[in-house]
């Protein structure tokens, strides 16, 4: 990393790396069955790849490298994230018809196929994470630790539990503390797990892993605050979906509870706290610092 670092170039480089690795998992000869088509359709819908990039950046921040096994772990995270989006879009949950400017999986295919595609992406992620060839340079113990971290973040203690809270609290008043708890699980847990997993696979010390854990916690909440703000005032053309969905569904959001100005202020404070967690890191943490600022300045 040096003074010539530019975030856009870095993000593009890492996206290409992740996308190429994802393509390898689907390098199948015809015939490809319907569920695989649906998996590929949702994975290739043009996501930011934020979670895998955070994993790669965290590995670099502790002095590690983006080895093939680290990249494969990053791909597994994107598969888990994509599965969650497929299921969130279903009629039984958010009932969304557009995702990243394209028809959602259940609209493009059908509900049953979407459910199975999500299930298949989740199980493929753990197939990748547990593959022995992925443990050659990072070590079995570190990979088992990462599997545990990601499992907890994706399950009822994290993303799934947060989605359940989001659904049962819809239309009800909750405090900002409860909202923060809900989004720490629904959105923040997998983002936090991405950062911590990268630090573990990169061979970080306990002190470095703890610092990056703190960074991940702050960034995870900040990301959701900005998501809520964009749902109010974002450009649907840039976001690839309609604005105002949260209000229409009576969802609890930061702008609804705090107002837009206080929500922006809260997001800025979270990012400052995240940057403070990186105070003892050297130039290898430049991408993480830049990503933290990107999180609150993004338009989609």
Which structure tokens are listed for 38? Answer: 């649906």
State the chain's mean pLDDT as an integer: 92
Give me the number of domains the chain comprises.
1
Is the pLDDT at 2 greater than 60? The verdict is no
Flag whether pLDDT at 299 surpasses 80. Answer: no
Place of tokens 């967690």: 277
Position 3 confidence tier, pLDDT thresholds 50, 70, 90: low
Structure confidence by residue, pLDDT tens digits, 251-278: 889 999 999 999 999 999 999 999 999 9
Give the integer Cα–Cα distance in Å for 140 and 275. 31
Containing domain of residue 74, as a range?
Answer: 7-297
Tell whether the model's pLDDT for residue 247 goes beyond 60. Answer: yes
Could you tell me the pTM of the whole model? 0.94
Contact call for residues 247 and 256 (beta carbons, < 8 A):
yes
Residue 70 sits in a domain of what CATH number?
Answer: 1.10.600.10
- Residue whose entry in the numeric block shows the structure tokens 């088992």: 144
pLDDT (tens digit per residue) in 47-103: 899 999 999 999 999 999 999 999 999 999 999 999 999 999 999 998 999 888 899
Q: Is residue 1 part of a domain?
A: no
Whether 259 maps to a domain, the answer reads yes
Q: How many Å apart are CA 57 and CA 61, to the nearest integer?
A: 6
Asked if 114 and 105 count as a contact pair (C-beta separation under 8 A), the reply is yes
pLDDT above 70 as % of the chain: 95
In a domain, 2, yes or no: no
Report which of residues 281 and 30 the model is more confident about. 281
In the prediction, which pLDDT does 203 show? 95
* Structural domain contains residue 203: yes
In this structure, is residue 253 part of a structural domain?
yes
Q: What is the pLDDT of residue 1?
A: 55
* Residue 99, beta-bridge partner list: 102
> Is 242 part of a structural domain of the chain?
yes
Helix axes 286-297, 206-233, angle to 10 degrees: 20
Beta carbons of 273 and 215 less than 8 angstroms apart = no
Tell me the C-alpha distance between 99 and 84, whole Å.
12
Q: Is the distance from CB of 79 to CB of 124 less than 8 angstroms?
A: yes
Residues 74/53, Cβ–Cβ less than 8 Å: yes
State the Cα angle at 244 between 242 and 245, rounded to 5°: 75
Mean local confidence (pLDDT), 97-120: 94
Average pLDDT over residues 221-234: 91
């Amino acid at each position: 990393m040096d003074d010539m670092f530019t975030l856009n170039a870095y993000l593009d480089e890492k996206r290409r790396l992740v996308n190429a690795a994802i393509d390898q998992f689907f390098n199948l000869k015809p015939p490809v069955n319907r569920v695989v088509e649906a998996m590929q359709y949702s994975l290739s819908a043009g996501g930011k790849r934020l979670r895998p990039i955070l994993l790669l950046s965290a590995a670099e921040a502790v002095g590690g490298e983006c080895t093939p096994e680290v990249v494969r772990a990053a791909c597994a995270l994107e598969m888990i994230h994509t599965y969650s989006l497929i299921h969130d879009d279903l009629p039984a949950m958010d009932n969304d018809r557009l995702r990243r400017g394209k028809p959602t999986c259940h609209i493009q295919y059908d509900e049953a196929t979407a459910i199975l595609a999500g299930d298949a992406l989740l199980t493929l992620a753990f197939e990748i994470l547990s593959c022995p060839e992925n443990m050659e340079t990072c070590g079995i113990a570190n990979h088992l630790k990462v599997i545990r971290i990601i499992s907890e973040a994706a399950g009822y203690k994290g993303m799934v539990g947060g989605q359940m809270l989001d659904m049962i609290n819809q239309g009800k008043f909750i405090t900002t503390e409860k909202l923060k708890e809900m989004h720490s699980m629904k959105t923040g847990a997998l983002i936090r797990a991405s950062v911590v997993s990268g630090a573990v696979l990169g061979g970080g010390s306990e002190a470095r892993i703890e610092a990056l854990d703190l960074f991940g916690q702050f960034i995870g909440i900040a990301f959701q605050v900005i998501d809520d703000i964009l749902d109010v005032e974002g450009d649907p053309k840039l976001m690839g979906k309609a604005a105002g969905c949260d209000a229409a569904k009576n969802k609890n959001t930061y702008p609804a509870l705090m107002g837009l100005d206080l929500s922006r202020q809260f997001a800025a404070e979270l990012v400052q706290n995240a940057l403070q967690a990186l105070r003892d890191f050297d130039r290898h943490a430049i991408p993480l610092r830049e990503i933290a600022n990107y999180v609150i300045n993004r338009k989609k």
